[in-house]
Chains A and B, each alone.
Chain A
Amino acid sequence: MIGMEHAWLLPVLPFSSFVILLLVGKYLPRRGDWLAIGAMVAAFVLFLFMMADLLGELETGAEFEGVRSGIQWLPLEELGLEIRLGFLFDQLAAVMLAVVTFVGTLIVIYSMGYMKGDPRYGWFFAVMSLFLASMTTLVLADNLLLLYAAWEGVGICSYLLIGFWHERRPAAEAAKKAFITTRIGDVGLLIGIILLWREAGTFDIREIFEFARGGGYSPEYLTLAVLMLFAGAVGKSAQFPLHVWLPDAMEGPTPVSALIHAATMVVAGVYLVSRTMPLFDLADPVALAVVVALGLTTVMLSATIGLVQTDIKRVVAYSTINSLGLMMVALGAKSVTAAMFYLFVHGFFKALLFLASGNVIHGTERQDVKELGGLQSEMPLTALAFGVGVLSMAGLIPFSGFWAKDAILHAAQSHLNAAVVGWLSFSIFLTALYMARLYLLTFTGRPRDKHAHEHAHEAPPVMLWPVLTLAVLSTVTGFWAFDQVGEALGFPGGIGRFVFFEEPESFHFTAGTAAISIVAVVVGLAVALWAWGGEAAPARRLAETFRPVHNLLLNGYYIDRFYQWIIDRVVLLAGRTLAWFDRVVVNDTGVDGPAGLGVFWGYAMKFVQTGRLPNYALAIASGVVIIAIVVLAVRV
């Protein structure tokens, strides 16, 4: 029977697709897109089987620690190292994989329409397959080393896909930026992994937990290691200060933005912290405080910047950064449930927003709201779906976003302080504001570019159906918070009873927090309607009045400029100095020096060969005399 022990197949399926597409893709009919899709569908079906198996196990009521599979790859006992291709399937992995496999399948199908006609069509599907293989490996990895390898794997795929249209300079630059920025975080992650391994002697996650619980790490050491791990999350999940790559990553094709930079890869940081929460718990509280601080900063930063951006995808990108910050705050409150719940629903509505944006871009060949407007009439279904996404993101009841945000607010209230709750509420207001703004500017009002408007058309079915499916899911998945819904589906209860840290949580519906968030959302939507509805005159007046603030936000608080300055003044300067050193000291003096000396010496020495016998005879005679004198002196 197919069950959880077959978890290893989940990465293998898309990986095989990648290999085949890489080798013979261009000879297959339709460049083999059906192979990629087939692999993902098979993976999703397998996942369903595994889920069924998991639910069956949970029903027995016994303590469930997850099911392992995998093989030993490189046992190096002398070095105290064991490299294992090991996989662990438990509830946490299940939630994440639900998003990865399902949304992944939808997006690969969507790509058939969006990428149609692209000269490198086949390569797109190959790299997508590789990405999905790496992502599933990351989720399922039972040891930190494999997780790190998969972490890098998704990073590479992100690079390749952001720079998919690498003939465009901005795309190539964005890909580079993404890779380098996340790399900075990755270094921290690696250091953290090594720190943990050094004391525990193993990379296995469960064993490391055992070791830590047994007091194997000193508190300072563990705190340091855990903060290093978090550094990796900061990079990959675009937290402040390493958030700068995500908006630029929108240079990639929209399916890429939807899958990688919304639903799956960017939440890998959230997943990592969730996975290693026991370590965060045992470490000094300052670690989690850092998490909350950075998360909150990220939330406020992104909400304010997103308010003034004009590229559709950039706005959605900033909303993703916003969501990631929220998830980090939830984790800072030690609520894995809230974070994973939000991750789950976010996967659906963010992918929805991106794919719907993709429909807009595909239909109008424009991305800037300055050139859009009034598309409701031309693309009604997309507009409807986009609207659902907006409301879910903003967190309006009864959409899924509301329930997840409520859970986060609740967690913040219980474990953190009122200030955090206040900021979060303010961010909910801002989110409603900028998301509604985006909808209004794109779909309502007078069309700003007549030409685009005239040629706008609804998306083809292959691109429409995934969007509509996601819209439905964005509406209903929020109800998984309730125990009744969960039990009806075969779960032990609501999501709080399925995935949790230490204690299962039932969903509490406190009137207070709910009221705050509903009010914030409604006020936000209302203000947006006033400011950007119709001719959007109030917005224009405000932008004029507060021009400096507007510019500040438009330029992302000039953080990018600052980083570029550091690179130019510090990094490149250091590079130039080192290059000079290498060229002049090492090469010219160190290497060429002795060589030149040898050459010169050879030249100088050749003058000894005068060719004249008397000279040679003199040399011989002198030598003999000198030796004779020496011998005489020594002897006497």
Chain B
Amino acid sequence: MSYEEGIFYLVATVTVLGGLGVVLARNVVHAALFLIVALLGVAAVFLLLAAEFLAIVQTLIYGAAVTILVLFVMMLTRVRDVPQAVDGPQKPLAFVVGAALLGVLVLAAVSTDWGALGARESVQLVPLRDLGSSLFRFWVVPFILVALVLDVAMAGAIILARSEEGE
């Protein structure tokens, strides 16, 4: 096992453990904390894939903004921090479906000949400058649209969440 692979396994283990915590934790707040772990793990994976900008963006947005948001909503919806039944009646079926999906995906990933599709041995580094210029040159239209989506989402969230008279 090479140096990189070892780090990969470490990061991967942490991420998976975080994911497991999200879906299995009894305590809701604990689940939120596990989410932070998982998402930061994903950021580390991005680093391993030589996408530093993406790792930073992931950390900032997910690790900070989204999780804060989640915790706030938990507070506002008065989730008890004592363990209670958080799993629904579909648990067994969900397990089956999840396992089946896992099997299919892993099978697909492993059995495909990635070499024939042009896979390289290692990852290419991505200069940030090139990424930026590409973003504003080739991908400018989706970029603007995404900005629009953010606007709408923000406005929508405000309208949905504000208090009415007498509430």
Hey, which bits of chain A sit against chain B, CB under 8 A? 614-615, 618, 621-622, 624-625, 628-629, 632, 636
- In the complex, A628 Cα to B103 Cα: how many Å? 10
Checking A614, A615, A618, A625 against B100 with a beta-carbon cut-off of 8 angstroms, the contacting residue is A625
Nearest-Cβ distance from residue B140 to partner chain A, whole angstroms: 33
Checking B88, B97, B111 against A622 with a beta-carbon cut-off of 8 angstroms, the contacting residue is B97
- In the complex, A632 Cα to B88 Cα: how many Å? 31
Checking A618, A622, A632 against B108 with a beta-carbon cut-off of 8 angstroms, the contacting residue is A632
| Contact (Cβ within 8 A) B104 A614 | no
- Judge whether B94 is part of the interface by a CB distance below 8 angstroms: yes
- Judge whether B163 is part of the interface by a CB distance below 8 angstroms: no
Nearest-Cβ distance from residue B117 to partner chain A, whole angstroms: 14
Could you say which residues of chain A place their CB within 8 Å of the CB of B107?
Answer: 632
Could you say which residues of chain A place their CB within 8 Å of the CB of B105?
Answer: 628
Nearest-Cβ distance from residue B99 to partner chain A, whole angstroms: 10
17 A-B pairs besides A614-B90, A628-B105, A632-B108 with CB distance below 8 A are A615-B90, A618-B90, A618-B93, A618-B94, A618-B97, A621-B97, A621-B101, A622-B97, A625-B97, A625-B101, A625-B104, A628-B101, A628-B104, A628-B108, A629-B100, A629-B104, A636-B111
Could you say which residues of chain B place their CB within 8 Å of the CB of A621?
Answer: 97, 101
- Would you give 10 A-B contacts (Cβ < 8 Å), ordered by A? A614-B88, A614-B90, A622-B97, A625-B97, A625-B104, A628-B105, A628-B108, A629-B104, A632-B104, A632-B108
Hey, which bits of chain B sit against chain A, CB under 8 A? 88, 90, 93-94, 97, 100-101, 104-105, 107-108, 111
Nearest-Cβ distance from residue A293 to partner chain B, whole angstroms: 88
Nearest-Cβ distance from residue B100 to partner chain A, whole angstroms: 5
Could you say which residues of chain A place their CB within 8 Å of the CB of B90?
Answer: 614-615, 618
Could you say which residues of chain A place their CB within 8 Å of the CB of B104?
Answer: 625, 628-629, 632
Could you say which residues of chain A place their CB within 8 Å of the CB of B101?
Answer: 621, 624-625, 628
Nearest-Cβ distance from residue A594 to partner chain B, whole angstroms: 34
- In the complex, A624 Cα to B105 Cα: how many Å? 12
Could you say which residues of chain B place their CB within 8 Å of the CB of A622?
Answer: 97
- In the complex, A615 Cα to B88 Cα: how many Å? 10
Interface centre among A615, A618, A624, A625 (most CB of B within 10 A): A625
Nearest-Cβ distance from residue A461 to partner chain B, whole angstroms: 106
Nearest-Cβ distance from residue A515 to partner chain B, whole angstroms: 114
Nearest-Cβ distance from residue B132 to partner chain A, whole angstroms: 36
Nearest-Cβ distance from residue B69 to partner chain A, whole angstroms: 21
Could you say which residues of chain B place their CB within 8 Å of the CB of A632?
Answer: 104, 107-108
- In the complex, A615 Cα to B89 Cα: how many Å? 10
Could you say which residues of chain B place their CB within 8 Å of the CB of A629?
Answer: 100, 104
- In the complex, A622 Cα to B99 Cα: how many Å? 11
Task: Report the nearest A residue to B93, measured CB to CB.
Answer: A618
| Pairs A-B, 5 closest by C-beta atoms | A628-B104, A625-B100, A621-B97, A625-B101, A614-B90
Could you say which residues of chain A place their CB within 8 Å of the CB of B97?
Answer: 618, 621-622, 625
Task: Report the nearest B residue to A628, measured CB to CB.
Answer: B104
